[in-house]
Amino acid sequence: MPMTEHLSDKNLVDLAKQNFENRQKNTIPSIIVPLPSNGLVYPKSSPLHSGQVEMRYMTAYDEDILTNATYIKQGVVLDKLIKSLILNDVNLDEMIVADRDVLIIAARIHGYGNEYTVTVTDPETKSTLNRVLDLSKLEMNPFLLQADENGEFEYRINSETVVKFKFLNKTESNSISSEHALSDFLKKSIKQVNETRDAFKIEQYIRYQMKPIESKQLRTYISDNMPGIKLEAEFEGENGGTFTARFQIGSDLFWV
């Protein structure tokens, strides 16, 4: 048999296998997950601008991703998992951290259930308590900023200067150097100063014109308006009463 025919037959087999797998995946239930950002932080040209992502439920087969030694070593386990579950044509690397976190929590709820144990401190007794949290009842912070067509937001520095900034995605956040954390954050966040969008001129503005107090005020504004999940809930105290406390979602989210 000629080599070209052999390769052609193999390609046909691979295509048939892929088509079969796609048909099987289409039988798995899916959910529509609303994003904390409402999609406003993305350009109108992005599929993420719709403000929601469709994901299929996890299956036992997906647990191989969670135990993959290479993924664990590289720190990309959750990214690999979410990429495998997303049904929309969206790029996970373009998502801001808060939107990505919501997809992770949704995957956990529909894969292992909505109960998750967190550690909180009782303000009355000062004791550290383990309490079960209902992940399905987590609320999103209201997002009220008005974006332009590029998914950018206007902020007035002073009477002479108006900037446009964006919320950073995970890739951009991870690329910020520890030696120049504040200036790197500003360079990646600020996309326009008055009428210029020239990256070199923006860097020169940050380096030579922007005052420290102005830098701090802008960074605070971005932080205060960041889309995200409210990591705060009401818990039962040791003495039978209730209290509201903040909590953290740890790396054990999928280890149940």
Domain ranges across the chain = 3-114, 153-224
pLDDT at 118: 94
Phi, psi at residue 114, to the nearest 5°? -95, 0
153-169 confidence digits (pLDDT tens): 999 999 999 999 999 99
> What distance lies between CA 149 and its chain's CA centroid?
21
pLDDT at 13: 46
Radius of gyration of the chain (CA): 23
First to last CA, the chain: 53
What torsion, rounded to 10 degrees, do the Cα atoms 177, 179, 182, 188 define? Answer: -30
pLDDT at 248: 87
pLDDT at 26: 62
* Among 134, 110, 96, 142, CA closest to 247: 134
pLDDT at 9: 56
User: How far is 8 from 39, CA to CA, in rounded Å?
Assistant: 43
pLDDT at 10: 55
pLDDT at 28: 74
The two tokens of residue 1 are 């048999």
Under-50 pLDDT residues of the chain? 1, 3-5, 12-13, 17, 20
pLDDT at 256: 63
User: How far is 164 from 147, CA to CA, in rounded Å?
Assistant: 10
pLDDT at 166: 97
pLDDT at 255: 81
Q: Which amino acid is at 4?
A: T
116-133 confidence digits (pLDDT tens): 999 999 999 999 999 999
